[in-house]
Structure 1
Amino acid sequence: MAVEATAVTRELIWRRVMDELGFEHARVRRGPEGTELSGLLLVAEEGAPLRAEYSIVCDGAWRTRRVSVTQSWRGEHRTLTLEHDGAGLWRKNGQVAEELKGCTDVDLGLTPSTNTLPINRLRLGEGARAEILAAWVRFPSLEVLPARQGYTRTGPARYRYENLGGDFTAMMDVDADGLPIDYGDIWRRLAEAPASPLSAKQAFVEALLSPGPSSELGDAADTFGWLVGGWEGTIQDHDADGSVRESPGEWWFHWVLDGRALQDVFIVPSRRAPARPGPGANKRYGTTVRSFDRAEGRWQITWVSPTGGVINRLAGGRDGERLVLLGEHHGRPLRWSFSDIGPDRFTWRGEVREADGTWKLQSRFDMRRIA
């Protein structure tokens, strides 16, 4: 579910007054189809900077439907996606999360903003109390646990929050939209205003990028999902005379199109590379879109290279320890394969089949993870 770009928006900043170690910048967009709550958290966690971005999409009844979190901490980049059918069934990173069955809301442990979700969904009268089961996301582990919580409306704009699995309680003063102004002695709002419209660039990026794979992909997402992030390395082109040309390159991957496809951007030479005299590897600035054909049980790949005037279509998937994709270029069979795959490295080989049936290496990319 997408919230319309023309929705009424607000943006707010909170400061963590409990220890003066954090800030949050949040944005709320409300439209006919529902509400999106998104934000950026910057906190000091165990002496290390933690940066987390999140997006929560709710339907018109304030039922949490989709959650995405991206976190960077101690040099590690991690993501989390949650999907909720609105009736108690949750998926975590595309897999059914039985432990969260019955949860109605999400509670991101680092932010005061998610308290607004049950406040708006419950619409308690003054003096009324309700208990809920929330999907509680802990930071920096990104572990998700069911948590029993209580909300009591003690005044026109005041609520008491209770963690029913422990002894934590806090009083919250909220505004007319149910957004916290003061969250006990922990968070305090510093600023709020109508949000400026998204730029065309921001709107395009939000429309294209997805926080994670669609649950429709199931286990097939694992085939290429490990590539998400950034890579750099040495790009080689092997010429017919046996010579080899080299240049540094970079490669970026992200889920797109509501998580139904994986797209990359491939750049040679790398934008950070100094100008080098003499011939290097072929210049590349192109993109690939990968989508899974459920009927065929294999991935379909389209590579577009405006710099080389090339469009290649390949198909394939896992072959033992490798990922192998087959196609044609000008009538000649092509084989591109991932091999030597590790958590922070891989080799990508491009080969063409000769008339005698052997495969001849044309390109080799040795990549290492940088994001």
Structure 2
Amino acid sequence: MTETIATIRWRALDRDGEDKCRLAHLDGGYMLVGHARFRDGAGWAALDYVVRIGADWRTLSADVTGTHGGGDLALRLINDDGDWTLNGDPQPDLVGCEDVDFAFTPATNLMPLRRLPDVGRLTTRSAWLRLPGPALSPLDQSYIRERGNLVAYSAEQTGFATQLAVDATGFVTTYPGLWEADV
């Protein structure tokens, strides 16, 4: 049985789009259920995602279904103790990744943000899913809680860095230039 912990809705700042997400308790762990709708260089996307999360806030599995750029999409990622598969195919480059990071939503920042101490730093490696493609590769990330609800974020492979605002649940409320929570 699931029990909703929090819900959030974001609007895209860099394109037409929105995302709605729900965090719920599920079988001793958690689950993210979201619905992202946006337009990018490939056209319109209507993607639904489910991320199953262990009690330790690490990703167990994730599904993405819907349409992107006029084509159907159905992806299933499974993390079996650090060994990942995509639609049943082994992904050796992802060995040791703790989470998924869907490039099309801020929702998947939640897991590392929930593991981040009240003061301090967390480094993690995520299975980074980008569209079109899909493209899947490791992404080394760093989160540093600077004060209160402000967190410095950086991604090693891309050189991207920004300051995130987060709520008490751990959801990103401001992802500068990309996403903002509707309140």
What's the TM-score, normalizing by structure 2?
A: 0.93
Pairing 1:163–2:158 present:
no
SS in 2 for 1:39: strand
Query: 1:47, CA displacement in angstroms?
Result: 6.1
Distance in 1 (CA, whole Å) between partners of 2:78 and 2:154 is: 25
Pairing 1:142–2:134 present:
yes
The corresponding residue for 1:11 is 7
Instruction: Specify whether residues 8 and 52 from structure 1 end up closer, same or farther in structure 2 by C-alpha distance, changes over 3 A only.
Output: closer
The corresponding residue for 1:154 is 146
1:68 maps to amino acid = D
Query: 1:12, CA displacement in angstroms?
Result: 1.5
Query: 1:73, CA displacement in angstroms?
Result: 2.2
Pairing of 1:169-318 with structure 2 (within 5 A): 169-191=161-183
Per chain length, whose mean CA-contact separation is higher, i.e. which structure has more relative contact order (CA < 8 Å, sep 6+)?
2
Q: Deviations over 1:111-142 (max 9, x none)?
A: 0111111111x23231x122211100001212
2:63 maps to amino acid = S
* Aligned length, in residue pairs: 183
Kept in 1, the 8 Å contact 2:102–2:108? The answer is yes
Pairing 1:130–2:125 present:
no
Distance in 1 (CA, whole Å) between partners of 2:152 and 2:73 is: 33
Query: 1:8, CA displacement in angstroms?
Result: 2.9
1:91 maps to amino acid = T
The corresponding residue for 2:56 is 61
What's the TM-score, normalizing by structure 1?
A: 0.47
The corresponding residue for 2:103 is 109
Structure 1 runs not aligned, ≥5 long: 192-371
Structure number, greater radius of gyration? 1
Pairing 1:80–2:75 present:
yes
SS in 1 for 2:169: coil
1:123 maps to amino acid = L
Q: Taking every aligned residue pair, what percent have the same amino acid on both sides? A: 27
Instruction: Specify whether residues 47 and 81 from structure 1 end up closer, same or farther in structure 2 by C-alpha distance, changes over 3 A only.
Output: closer
> After TM superposition, which residue ranges in structure 1, 4 or more long, deviate above 3 angstroms?
none
Query: 1:97, CA displacement in angstroms?
Result: 1.4
2:118 maps to amino acid = G
RMSD, aligned α-carbons: 1.5
Distance in 2 (CA, whole Å) between partners of 1:123 and 1:161 is: 11
Aligned pair partner of 1:37 in 32, 40, 57: 32
Kept in 2, the 8 Å contact 1:32–1:60? The answer is no
Kept in 1, the 8 Å contact 2:15–2:40? The answer is no
Instruction: Specify whether residues 32 and 73 from structure 1 end up closer, same or farther in structure 2 by C-alpha distance, changes over 3 A only.
Output: closer
Instruction: Specify whether residues 71 and 143 from structure 1 end up closer, same or farther in structure 2 by C-alpha distance, changes over 3 A only.
Output: farther
SS in 2 for 1:56: strand
Distance in 2 (CA, whole Å) between partners of 1:96 and 1:9 is: 33
2:23 maps to amino acid = V
Name the structure where strand makes up a greater proportion of residues: 2
